[in-house]
Amino acid sequence: MKPSIVCYKKLPDELKQKLEKRFTVTAFDAVNDDNFPEFLAALEHAEGLIGSGLTLDRALLQRAPRLRAVSTISAGYDNFDVEALTERKIPLMHTPGALTDTVADTIMALVLASGRRIVNVAERVKAGEWQDSVDESWFGVDVHHKTMGIIGMGRIGSALAQRARFGFNMKIVYHTRTRNAEAEDRFDAIYMDLDKLMSTADYVCLILPLSPQTYHLIDAEKLALMKPDAYFINAGRGPVVDEAALIEALQQKKIAGAGLDVFEQEPLPVDSPLLSMPNVVAVPHIGSATFEARYAMAKTAVENLIAAMTDSIDGNCVNPQIIR
């Protein structure tokens, strides 16, 4: 008999078929309040799980007593209880390589949109305000030749540095857990402690994952170090930033603006003060949201699940210490 798996995200047909060749698949396009009881019932038999966008905490994982492998269609895994999985020797697979360039493109877009006020001026044009040649009220600030500060110099940070350094002649300063000699070599990136980076960069770009160590790492104190004409960009995870402190820094004009792909609460509540600030570019967690990247992520996740279910893991495992 084929092993049972549960897929909790809509997959392209050919990828679903690839899974169906090997497994008995119970598929949900998405899990919501309506189908949650059916999802729980399917978990009881699940040996494998694949999907994204669901919080799989210890209690929910306990509803899957036969579970042997989990494959998330994402790079981030803050929505999983990794400790609970590791205790049960269940590998958690993810897709860090499949979205690098796409997310770096998104961050560059937020940098450009913030500095050049692309969204704000486009809204004014749509509102009929473009009546004459533009005066200073439409001006932005340059991106090229400025200093980009990258917090988190991993795969995405390096892809961003490449764009900024060679596409826009920017100076790169960075902060990360372990120094990245390759980035220093390739992009002339200068390592700085976090405080120094915050006070140096014209565009502070945050790409850190969420963990107990990074929660609210960027707080009022850190934001106060930024230059008043600098921009803050977040494409990592919302809760790495104290959003209330960011809102206050923006309201008090302590920084020039922000470009945000992630928020403490997603979807962002419609009454968030961020939405009424002309110097904030807010996008709905679209870092990896292109057809190409989402397909590559789903394909990698399917391959990851097959590898984990057949004891042939070769990379992409969050908790490799459990592999025998």
Q: Which of 262, 243, 198, 257 shows the shortest CA–CA distance to 224?
A: 198
Smallest distance from ligand 8YV to CB 239, Å: 13
Catalytic residue among 63, 124, 155, 285: 285
Smallest distance from ligand 8YV to CB 241, Å: 15
DSSP code of residue 209: P
Identity of the residue, 67 or 262, whose beta carbon is nearer to ligand 8YV in the bound complex:
262
Q: Exactly one of 71, 74, 214, 234 binds ligand 8YV (CB under 6 A); which one?
A: 74
Residue 155 near residue 96, CB atoms below 8 Å: yes
Catalytic residue among 165, 237, 243, 294: 237
| Segment lying near ligand 8YV (by CB under 6 A), choices 37-45, 199-207, 280-288, 316-324 | 280-288
Q: Exactly one of 31, 49, 64, 99 binds ligand 8YV (CB under 6 A); which one?
A: 99
- Told to check if 73 binds ligand 8YV by CB under 6 A, we report yes
Q: Exactly one of 18, 63, 124, 285 binds ligand 8YV (CB under 6 A); which one?
A: 285
Measured at CB, which residue is nearest to ligand 8YV? 76
Residue tagged 């961050």 (tokens): 107
Alpha helices, DSSP H, located in the chain: 13-22, 36-43, 58-62, 82-87, 100-115, 118-126, 155-162, 168, 181-187, 194-200, 220-224, 243-251, 291-309
Q: Is 221 a catalytic residue?
A: no
Q: Is 145 a catalytic residue?
A: no
Q: Exactly one of 75, 172, 183, 233 binds ligand 8YV (CB under 6 A); which one?
A: 75
231 CB contacts (<8 Å, ≥6 apart)?
Answer: 111, 114, 115, 202, 203, 204, 255, 256, 257, 258, 259
Q: Is 216 a catalytic residue?
A: no
- Told to check if 288 binds ligand 8YV by CB under 6 A, we report yes
Residues 206, 112: Cα–Cα separation, whole Å? 15
Identity of the residue, 70 or 256, whose beta carbon is nearer to ligand 8YV in the bound complex:
70
- Degrees to nearest 5, angle at CA 112 with 98 and 182: 50
